[in-house]
Every structure is written in structure tokens, then in C-alpha cells.
Amino acid sequence: MFTSLRRVIKTGWRGFRRNIGLSLATILIMVMVISLATLLFLLSPVSDILITDIKEKVDISVYFKEDVLSEDILEVETEILKIPEVKDVEYVSKEQALEKFIERHKDDPVLMESLTEVGANPFLASLNIRAWEVSQYEQVTNFLETSPFRSLIDKVDYHQRKPVIDKVFSMVSGFYKIGIFFSIVFAVVAVLIAFNTIRIAIYNSGEEISIMRLVGASNWFVRGPFLIQGIIIGFIAALITLLISFGLCYGFDNKIKAIAPEISIYSIFVSNFFLLFLIQLATGIGLGVISSYVAVRKYLKI
């Protein structure tokens, strides 16, 4: 048993070395397939970060009537914070609202001028409320509109914002679905290409496999070396892909950060290093072994 295994491994390694050209070509294809798996793996946290980021930016504001005191508003804030759906609440006083407006529009002379013409501070004090989930805003709004302190409220801008919120989220979920669809299509295409490459590589040995059967080798003794070659090819391809993905994540980290500061592709890579390598190995070796197994089977029927 042990002798057989040793021979199978030796023969597999010899086959890999002797057909080095074909082996390298197969490794190259396999690197592409594993890269795709890596890309899908790395994109998943990136898209999560982007979606969370968009979600974080969504909030609703409750505007209070002109004459409501800030103590009352802070009391309402305490009440709102008791609602389980609410994540956090931020109080923006009339003055802060004005400051924010000036800060944002200081380069726009028309707006600044109209502000001067109005004279007094035209802004209302408000509470910016963020819920845990976008779908919870409706409930929060309902609560506010039916609460005992509704008389203090001038307006809740949820209804105004709802179409925008809905649109953004239908787009996000649309992109997500398209992403999943293309991921599956690419993955299937990649697997088929890898499988076919190995099949063609083994096609060359088809006659040899049949002769092995005819001289009395068992199926496993025939198949073993091809499975070993599949493992070697998958392993080397996974290692190469790991190095390439490390290089790319390291090299592009700053460039991506410049566009999206909250995404660090390099730290995603580092914190998922072992899982990622495991996925790469599983993709490479799994594809190599399964493709070899299926491709050899055809020639064993003698």
C-alpha cells in the first residue's frame, strides 16, 4: 500500500516534470481561475464596506418648531434613544445648523447674499436620527408622528427623503444582484476552462492510460499519478496566485484608499490571509483533482 502510494506520487511528479510545457500552461490557466476566486473573495468585504458606508449616510431629521426650547428637545432626544430601532441621535441647534450651512455654501455668493437678506437665523433646531436598518425609518417616523411630543415637531423629513432612500437602496441591491450573477457566470466559465485544459492535457495520455489497463494496472494505479499531477498543478497555481494577489493588494492599497478612504484592500488581505490561501488551495487542488479524475475515467473503460 505504502509502496504503491510512493510509486504513484513519484510517477505523478515525473509526469509533471516531463510534460513541463503543458504543466506550465495548465498552471497559467489555473492561476487565472484562482485569481477570479480571489477577486470574488476580496470584493465581498469591499462591497459590504461600500453598502455599510451608504447606509451610514442615510438618516432622517426631525425639525422642531421655532419656539421650542433646547431642554425640551434634549428630553425628546432621550425619549427617542429609548426606541430599540434607533442607533443614534444627534442634536443640531439652530446655531449649528446655520454654521453648517455657511460652512457648506460659503463659496456661493447668491446663497450667502440671500441669507444676509433674510436677516435672522432661518434654520430650525433638529435631531438627526439614524436607525440600525434603513427599513426601520418608517417605524421611527410613525412613532414620532403619534408621540406625545408631536406638538413640538415642525416636520419629519422622512417622507421627503423616502424616494431617494428607496432609489439608492434599489440601486445598491440591483448592483449586488448583478455582481452575484456575473460572479457565478465567470466562475462557471473559469471552471469549464480549467477543466477543459486538464482534459486536453490528459487527452494526450489517453492511449497510454488504455495500455496501462491492458497490461494489468488497477484503476487507482493508473489514475493516481494524474491526480497527483492535478494536486501539484493546483498547489503551484495557488501559491503563484497568493503572491500575485499579495503584490496587487499591497501595491494598490494607497490608490484605492485615495478613492475610497474606508477601504484598505491590503488589510482585508492580511486579516483574511489564511482563509484566502485556503480558498485558493481548495480551488486549485479541487479543480485539478476533480478535472483529472473525470478526464482519466473516459480512458479506463477498457
Partner 1 sequence: MLSINNITKLYPSRTGNAPTIALDNVSFKINGKEFVSIVGKSGAGKTTLLKLILAEEKPSKGQIFFDDLNIHEIKRSQLPKLRQRIGTVFQDYKLFPSKTTYENVAYIMEAMGASEQEIKRDVPQILEIVGLLNRADNFPNELSGGEKQRAAIARALIHRPDIILADEPFGNLDPYHTFDIIKLLIKIYELGTTVILATHDKEVINSLGKRVITLDSGKVIRDEERGRFIL
Q: Which residues of this chain interact with partner 1, rule CB under 8 A? A: 3-4, 7, 15, 18-19, 205, 207-208, 211-219, 221, 302
Least distance (Å) between residue 197 CB and partner 1: 18
- DSSP class per residue in the chain: -HHHHHHHHHHHHHHHHHTHHHHHHHHHHHHHHHHHHHHHHHHHHHHHHHHHHHHHH--EEEEEPTT--HHHHHHHHHHHHTSTTEEEEEEE-HHHHHHHHHHHHTT-HHHHHHHHHH-S--PPPEEEEEESSGGGHHHHHHHHHHSGGGGGEEEETHHHHHHHHHHHHHHHHHHHHHHHHHHHHHHHHHHHHHHHHHHHHHHTTHHHHHHHHHTT--HHHHHHHHHHHHHHHHHHHHHHHHHHHHHHHHHHHHHHHHH-TT--HHHHHHHTHHHHHHHHHHHHHHHHHHHHHHHHHGGG--
Whose Cβ is closer to partner 1: residue 110's or residue 302's? 302
Whose Cβ is closer to partner 1: residue 114's or residue 218's? 218
Least distance (Å) between residue 9 CB and partner 1: 12
Whose Cβ is closer to partner 1: residue 124's or residue 212's? 212
Whose Cβ is closer to partner 1: residue 213's or residue 257's? 213
Least distance (Å) between residue 300 CB and partner 1: 8
Least distance (Å) between residue 5 CB and partner 1: 11
Whose Cβ is closer to partner 1: residue 120's or residue 214's? 214
Least distance (Å) between residue 194 CB and partner 1: 22
Whose Cβ is closer to partner 1: residue 135's or residue 218's? 218
Least distance (Å) between residue 246 CB and partner 1: 36
